Structure formats: structure tokens, C-alpha cells
Structure 1
Amino acid sequence: MKLRNRAATVLGASAVVLAGLVTPGTAAAADEPSVRQLLEQCEQGNTDLCEFHPSGSPESYRGADELVGGAANCSEGTSTRIISWESTQTTTNSVGVTISAGSTLGEVFEVGFETSYQREWSWSTSKSDEIRHELGPGQAVEIYAAPMREKVTGTYEMHFGDPYYGHYYWYVNNVTIDGPEQDQAWFTRVEEVDANC
């Protein structure tokens, strides 16, 4: 009988997952944990098991252009400028909690990512470079840079030794981790703008 009750609890928790963390039956919203509460249980080591399971392959895409530098020539002659720039890109996520290198949630994510794809995740990357540009009188330019990024969507699975909000197993679905791709080229562009001389 005890085994049957535990199996029913597991099935109930599965129903919670499919319904997007909505407790089965007629329970009020206050009777279910928030995504933040669940992930904090993992972060604080209050689970018997906490794993990240990626779904599908990582999605690569070109990141947004970021203004990284510029120069203006307010003289009456042509001027060659060397424009130095630097940018740092970091990892973000879709759930609004800290998932980073060194955090428990970050380490759990890394294990799931490396197990699934046999490579390491890049938490951050920095790039510095310089562009030589010839500016005519009254001309100005802005330099934009964009890295290649990748995102992975998956599920955090948590098992509890004692029922947590009435269930032993909880899942946080559709968690997206988005970070810079490792050792990939950056895209740069030069845009002419008003010099405001």
C-alpha cells in the first residue's frame, strides 16, 4: 500500500510537469512552489538528486550588434585613426535566477551539457581588437561587434527524500541557457555617423 501511494505521488508530480507546474486537482496556486523556489532547493543542496537534461541540439546564432567604439575627424584634412575596442559576453538564462560558473545550478547544467554534447560550455568570452579607418574632414564612424552565441533548452529534474509540496519529484521545464560560443569569430561592422563637429 505504501508503494502504491508513492507511485501515485510520482504520477502526480509528472502531471505537475506536463501542466507547467500546476498542481493536480483543485489546489490553489499557493500550494505549489514557484520556479525560483524549486531551483533554490537545488542550489542550496536540499535535493537528493538535481540534474539538467538538455532537449535537442544547441542552437547557434549571431548575437546582437554592440557599440564598442568609434572615432571622429573634426579637422580640415584626412586622418587615419586606429580604433581599439573590447567587449565581454556572458551567459544569461530564461528563469531569472543565477545559473553561472561556480554556482550549484551552473555545475549541474555543465554536467548535463558536457554529458550530452561531449564538450565544455563557455560561460563568458572577451574580445579585443583594433580597426584602422581613414576619416575625411567632418567624418565619424561607430564600430559594432557581434559574437556567435548558442542556447540550450532543457529540464532541471529534482528528487526529494521527503515530499516537497506533496511530491517527491519535481521538474522545471523549458529552461534556456544562452551563452557565447567557444572560440568562434566575431562579426564587426563600421557605420558612418554624424560627426557633430
Structure 2
Amino acid sequence: MSNRTKKIGSRTGIITAVAALGVGLLSPVSAAYADEEAPTIQQLTEDCDGSGWNHGGTGWTMFLDGCTFEEESSTTYKDWKAVGDTVTNCTADRGVIDQALTGSESWSSGGSIGGSASAVKSFFTGGLSGEYNWNHTVTETNASTIHVEPGRKATLTAGAEIHEKKGRIRVNYSSQLAGHYIWYINDVTISTPTGYTETGQDNKDCSETLLNGR
């Protein structure tokens, strides 16, 4: 084992270790590693994105073989958002309102670890196909005339198709870290807009709530 300084930290429930020769089963740690603590999520992600070695020379980046996303499930859904102003016609003394409005919204690639937002897409170097662009932003503009009858309210909307994957990141080291070559960062979610967008309107009775909460 190299004598380079390594990062140490307390074990967390989101990180699991696997033995060098048996995925899913922990082998006994030898006496040489008995005093070593498991790395934290932050330490593993810093090694994956290359910042660990640059922060005081305390990382294991130079011994990192790769960080690979392993998919467990995926889904595609439409994410709708209200854009522009809200037009209300909820007073008894007003007739039909026709008003030209413009609004826009953007969606970007992103992700989370354990439910906390994070720049996950920069952590791994493999495991994703080229089917989607995992590092981009799409914007949709809705410029329309909104028609609001008495007793109703409305706003413009824009929607983007989002592809989401859930899984884990496998972190491979060429030298053992706390007795293991492989560590996992679990409960990882990554998402990206596919590029398909739509526009529409949210038009409801004054007693109901619009998409923007009004």
C-alpha cells in the first residue's frame, strides 16, 4: 500500500463498501487497515470530480481508477411550470378579459445524493449512454393571448420532458482505501431535459389554485 496521506471520516449510511473480489459482501479487513475509517460521501465525490487531490494534498484522486454510474431504474415525465403573469377575472363587474402575455422557463441537467441537490453529473466518468445529453439546459417561451371568462383566472404554462435515472456511483481505487478497492455512493438521482417542450395555459375557476400557487 502506498504511504500517501489519505482522507478519513466517519462511516455514513449512504456509503457501502465491497470487497475487492466479491461485490455485495464485505470481507474481513486485515490488521493493516483495522484503524482506518471509512470515507465520507463528500470525500468520495471530491475524489471523483478531481477536487480531493487539489485540496491540501489529502485526497486519493491519484489512485482513482474511475467513478461509474450504475442505473437501477429510470423514468420520463413532463415537468410543467407557470410562466408570465397571472390574469384574474374574479370580480362581478368585469367582462371577458383577453390579454397578450409572454413568459419563459428553463430546465437544466442536475441530480441529488440522498435527496440533497448536488452537481452529480460531474462525479462520474462512465455508465451513461449517449441517448441523452447530461449536461445542458433547454428554454421554452410562451407568447400567447390568454382568454379569461368572468369568475376565472389563468396563466401561461410551459412544459419540458425530463428523463430521470436512479442508481448508485461505483468508486474504484487502484490501492485499497480503508481495506477496500471499491466503494459505492448510494441513493443517487440524475435528470436531464430531453429537448422536447410544449406550451399551454392553466385556466381555472377563481375558487381553485393555479399551477403557480395563486
Bin of the TM-score, shorter chain as denominator length:
0.5 to 0.7
Gaps of 5+ in 1: 3-9
Q: Does the 8 Å contact 1:151/1:177 carry over to 2?
A: yes
What amino acid sits opposite 1:61 in the alignment? Y
Task: Give the TM-score, by structure 1 length.
Answer: 0.66
How far did 1:62 drift?
2.0
Give the corresponding residue for 1:99.
119
Higher relative contact order (CA 8 A, sep 6+): 1
Give the corresponding residue for 1:5.
none
Aligned: 1:140 with 2:153: yes
Rate the CA distance shift 1:35–1:153 in 2: closer, same or farther, 3 A.
same
Q: Distance in 1 between matches of 2:21 and 2:189?
A: 20
* Higher alpha-carbon deviation: 92-101 or 161-170: 92-101
* Higher alpha-carbon deviation: 153-162 or 143-152: 153-162
Rate the CA distance shift 1:24–1:123 in 2: closer, same or farther, 3 A.
farther
Aligned: 1:39 with 2:39: no
Give the corresponding residue for 1:164.
177
How far did 1:93 drift?
1.8
Gaps of 5+ in 2: 2-16, 54-60, 208-214
Structure 1 runs (4+) deviating above 6 angstroms are: none
Given candidates 162, 181, 185, the residue that maps to 2:197 is: 185
**Greater share of helix:** 1
Task: Give the SS at the match of 1:32.
Answer: coil
Aligned: 1:126 with 2:146: no
Q: Does the 8 Å contact 1:54/1:152 carry over to 2?
A: no
Residue deviations 1:79-109, cap 9 Å, x none?
32112121111233230363267xx42xx35
Task: Give the TM-score, by structure 2 length.
Answer: 0.61
Rate the CA distance shift 1:120–1:142 in 2: closer, same or farther, 3 A.
closer
Task: Give the SS at the match of 1:148.
Answer: strand
Rate the CA distance shift 1:146–1:119 in 2: closer, same or farther, 3 A.
closer
Q: Does the 8 Å contact 1:52/1:154 carry over to 2?
A: no
What amino acid sits opposite 2:198 in the alignment? W
**Greater share of strand:** 2
Q: Distance in 2 between matches of 1:140 and 1:11?
A: 57
Q: CA RMSD in A?
A: 3.7
Q: Does the 8 Å contact 2:104/2:142 carry over to 1?
A: yes
What amino acid sits opposite 1:71 in the alignment? V
